[in-house]
Amino acid sequence: MTAVTGERRPARRRVQGSDPMNVLYDVPGPRARIRNNVLTVLVILAVLFAVYVMVTKLGEKKQLDPALWTPFLRGDVWVNLIVPGLLNTLAAAAVASLIAVPFGFVFGIARLSEHAVIRLAAGAVVEFFRAIPLLIMIFAVMFGGSAIFGLTVTPFTAVVVGLVLYNGSVLAEIVRAGILAVPRGQGEAALAIGLRKSQVMWMILLPQAVTAMMPAIVAQLVVLLKDTALGFIVSFEDLLNAGARVLPSNFNNIIPSVIVIAIVYIIINLAVGAVAVWLERRSRRSRKTAAQPIARPGSPSAVEAIAQPIVHPDSSDAVEGHPKRPTM
């Protein structure tokens, strides 16, 4: 109903199955649904055909021989060979993550500093380590530490340092982009009410930025976990080393070992991805804490709620809309 003429506007027809909150998605029509169904069937058939070809080739090469797969049914193989490598992989990823995340936040915030020296120095560090391949950094730490400084660097240390420098630099860019994605008016409003710049960063900008960039941070930590496999080059006793070196040397089953180790990696990454989804849903629920309005703005119920008389509980002769002032 319009405010001028009092005529009722025609209700907007809602497309069935559409999401009013999603303005970037068009509901497919009949032809589009048929096309999507056909493409889905074709993709499924292509995947099944690829699996059939792979299984056939493995059978021709006698890689499906039960003798090659039975070692994975033995408990001692898992306890003595696979599980230690898995624990080393998780330990390297955990230590590197605990250092890389603060590294990324420090240098990401430093890249937004108003001081040119801090901003340029942080930018140089981040761009330098992002430009160097991770494997080269692992080699540099492993062999450069002993050749130049005379230090004894273990493969675990070399892998962790390389992961921290590379992934920490990538996380710094994620943090910087997340802070810049916060509307500029948030910081300006905080400065207008007298907050210091450090308070604006830690109390206003970072909480909103962390919520927005949480999926990207978790995705980068998944990349960090998979990058631990590069420690295989420097004889780091990780999960890949167990699957590509130790198991084949004992049972002569390189293909089955790699397949099993790949499945273990997939399970771990799916678990980390599930944690990311849980964190995102939790952050969304935490943002839905604002009080709902008592009525739609401009509606008659809202006007009536505002125009209701205010009566003082201790007064019987209060004027409508103006409570009686208590006497002293």
Give the closest residue to 263 by CA, choosing from 243, 278, 249: 243
Pairwise CA distance, residues 242 & 76, whole Å: 13
Within a domain: 277: yes
Sheet strands (E) in the chain: none
Domain CATH number, residue 98: 1.10.3720.10
Residues 302-324 as b/e (b if ≥16 CB within 10 A, e otherwise) read eeeeeeeeebeeeeeebeeeeee
Q: Is residue 248 part of a domain?
A: yes
Walk along the chain (328 residues) and give the pLDDT tens digit of each residue: 555 455 555 555 554 444 544 555 678 888 889 999 999 999 999 999 999 999 999 888 888 888 889 999 999 999 999 999 999 999 999 999 999 999 999 999 999 888 899 999 999 999 999 999 999 999 999 988 878 888 888 999 999 999 999 999 999 999 999 888 888 888 878 888 888 888 888 888 888 888 888 888 988 999 999 999 999 899 899 999 988 888 998 888 889 999 999 999 999 988 888 887 787 777 677 655 544 444 455 555 444 544 455 455 554 444 444 445 445 4
Q: Is residue 235 part of a domain?
A: yes
Closest CA to 227 of 133, 121, 114, 112: 133
The angle formed by the CA atoms of residues 69, 75 and 76, to the nearest 5 degrees, is 100
Among residues 96, 107, 102, which one has the least CA distance to residue 156? 96
Domain that holds residue 130: 62-286
Report if pTM > 0.75. Answer: no
Is residue 134 one of the residues assigned to a domain? yes
What pLDDT, in 10s, does the model give residues 146-205? 788 888 889 999 999 999 999 999 999 999 998 888 888 888 788 888 888 888 888 888
Q: Are the CB atoms for 229 and 239 separated by under 8 Å?
A: yes
Q: What per-residue confidence (pLDDT) applies to 215?
A: 82
Q: What is the pLDDT of residue 95?
A: 96
Does any domain span residue 121? yes
Which token pair is 168? 């920490």
Structure-token pair, residue 143: 């062999």
255-290 tens-digit pLDDT: 999 999 999 999 998 888 888 778 777 767 765 554
**56: Cα separation from own chain's centroid:** 38
Maximal CA-CA distance, the chain: 101
Establish if 300 belongs to a structural domain. Answer: no
Query: Is position 164 within any domain?
Result: yes
Residue 45 belongs to a domain: no
How many distinct structural domains can be found in the chain?
1
Alpha helices in 61-154 (DSSP H): 66-69, 75-77, 83-110, 116-131, 134-139, 145-148
- What pLDDT, on a 0 to 100 scale, did the predictor assign at position 208? 84
Q: Where are the beta strands (DSSP E) in 161-238?
A: none
Q: Phi, psi (5° rounding) for residue 6?
A: 80, 5
